[in-house]
Amino acid sequence: EILMTQSPATLSVSPGERATLSCRASQSVYTNLAWYQQKPGQAPRLLIYGASTRATGIPARFSGSGSGTEFTLTISSLQSEDFAVYYCQQYNNWPWAFGQGTKVEIK
Amino acid sequence: QVQLQESGPGLVKPSQTLSLTCTVSGGSISSGSYYWSWIRQPAGKGLEWIGRIYISGSTKYNPSLKSRVTISVDTSKNQFSLRLSSVTAADTAVYYCARGLLWPDYWGQGTLVTVSS
């Protein structure tokens, strides 16, 4: 099974600042990686798939990069609605698996 | 707009079987090349993939749960279902159904299932 590790566990950022979230896979997943945003009491929302392709309706301030084992989600200028937990997910090997999440909180 | 809605008992006794149904509206469960998945999330914790089913009926289950899980589809009702047997307190979680290619793009709102006597 592929283990997904996200860092940091918590990221404190001021509104308008840039946030950089990391996700590492225990073996290569090529670009078979997605990112999700989850707010309290809500289901996850797809942000990125294919490591770098934004899902329908996702603002351009969200961008994904990376391949192999190292991936990054960047939020260029944090808005109030972006404070949430973010998960990466690999779909290269079954069982598909999520990282443990990074909480982006207001500094 | 596709919508998914989970339904089923919110309380299940230990050693019994958890049964949930996901009803799909706004589109046919038979159309497209989608996987229909069950994913769960214990309170305050991360997401765990339980399993997925393709419209052909082909299934894949998480090895950690494989011996206890069955996912099935009923195209006539536009639904798919989850059965998880021999539940314990560790199975207490919010259970989500979801649709996607390889990445779920539509999710249900989730349903809390508590395992307790």
What are the tens digits of pLDDT across the range A48-81?
A: 999 999 999 999 999 999 999 999 999 999 999 9
Q: Over its length of 117 residues, how does chain B's per-residue pLDDT go in tens digits? A: 999 999 999 999 999 999 999 999 999 999 888 999 999 999 999 999 999 999 888 999 999 998 999 999 999 999 999 999 999 999 999 999 999 989 999 999 999 999 999
Q: Do the beta carbons of residue A35 and residue A87 sit within 8 Å? A: yes
DSSP structure class, residue B86: S
Residue B32 pLDDT: 82
Residue B66 pLDDT: 85
Interface contact A44-B104, CB threshold 8 A: yes
On chain A, the residues whose CB falls within 8 A of the CB of B49 are 95-98
On chain A, the residues whose CB falls within 8 A of the CB of B43 are none
Residue B11 pLDDT: 98
Residue B26 corresponds to which tokens in the numbers above? 């706004």
Q: Do the beta carbons of residue B66 and residue B73 sit within 8 Å? A: no
Instruction: Report how far residue B11's alpha carbon sits from residue B6's, in angstroms, rounded to the nearest whole number.
Output: 14
A31: Cβ contacts below 8 Å, ≥ 6 apart: A50, A51, A52, A66, A67
Instruction: Report how far residue B69's alpha carbon sits from residue B27's, in angstroms, rounded to the nearest whole number.
Output: 26
Residue B33 pLDDT: 87
Left, alpha or beta for A30 (phi > 0: left; psi -120 to 50: alpha)? left
On chain B, the residues whose CB falls within 8 A of the CB of A96 are 49, 52, 102
CA nearest neighbour of B33 among B20, B52, B61, B6: B52
Using CA atoms, how far residue B55 sits from A65, A69, B66, in Å, is 32, 31, 19
Residue B68 pLDDT: 97
Residue B31 pLDDT: 86
Closest Cα in chain A, distance from residue B51 (Å): 8
Q: Which of B49, B60, B105 sits opposite A97 (nearest CB)?
A: B49
Residue B55 pLDDT: 86
DSSP structure class, residue B66: G
